[in-house]
Amino acid sequence: MSILTGAYNHSVDGKNRIRIPAKLRSDLGIDFSETEDKENKDKRFSLVFHTGTDGCIAVYTQEAVDKIFAPFADIKMSDFEKYRAVRRYLNTFETVESDPQGRLVVPPKFRQHAKIKKDIVICGTVDHIEIWAKEVYDEYFGINDMSVADVNELVKILDL
């Protein structure tokens, strides 16, 4: 899987379906040439939605989620505090399967979490993608590009 970058403006259709931009699908490793049924033009795949931070929906491949969940395998039910915390955390994830045309229905709890009505921004975020309501995205990131001072501040914060 490649580093995921870029921001793409899209809309949710009347049935609450979205399409992941081709570049991001490719970078996520979703290759229709392998999954396509030549006769039926079936382009099914699945991704895992998560209630992301700051009002977005974080979207992962199953492989990425397996890595996130791996440390939880050692938590015993008898460790009530950790077990309950993990259970609550796992409840914020849901696997969503595409329809045969490669569209994903955004589940209601995620649309509500992200305040999605119609216009969205889908962006790459290194190892996953994020889906934002356009209004929330514009407010959070601002409508201006990053200045040199912003980039320098980011480098400083990340200790690069």
pLDDT one-digit tens code per residue, 36-83 = 455 556 788 999 999 999 999 999 999 999 999 999 888 888 888 999
50 in a domain, yes or no? yes
- For residue 1, tell me if it sits in a domain: no
Q: What is the pTM of this model?
A: 0.83
Question: For residues 146 and 21, which has the higher predicted lDDT (pLDDT)?
Answer: 21
Report how far residue 4's alpha carbon sits from residue 8's, in angstroms, rounded to the nearest whole number: 12
Quick one: pLDDT at residue 35? 46
At residue 24, what is the residue type?
L
In a domain, 41, yes or no: yes
Cα 7–60–90 angle (5° rounding)?
A: 130
Structure-token match 């490669």, residue found: 102
- Quick check: is 48 in a domain? yes
Q: Which domain holds residue 47?
A: 7-158
In a domain, 28, yes or no: yes
The count of domains in the chain is 1
More confident: 102 or 152: 102
Domain annotation covers residue 2: no
Residue 19 lies in a domain: yes
Is pLDDT above 80 for 31? Answer: no
CATH (domain of 94): 3.40.1550.20
In a domain, 12, yes or no: yes
Confidence tier at 30 by pLDDT (50, 70, 90) = confident
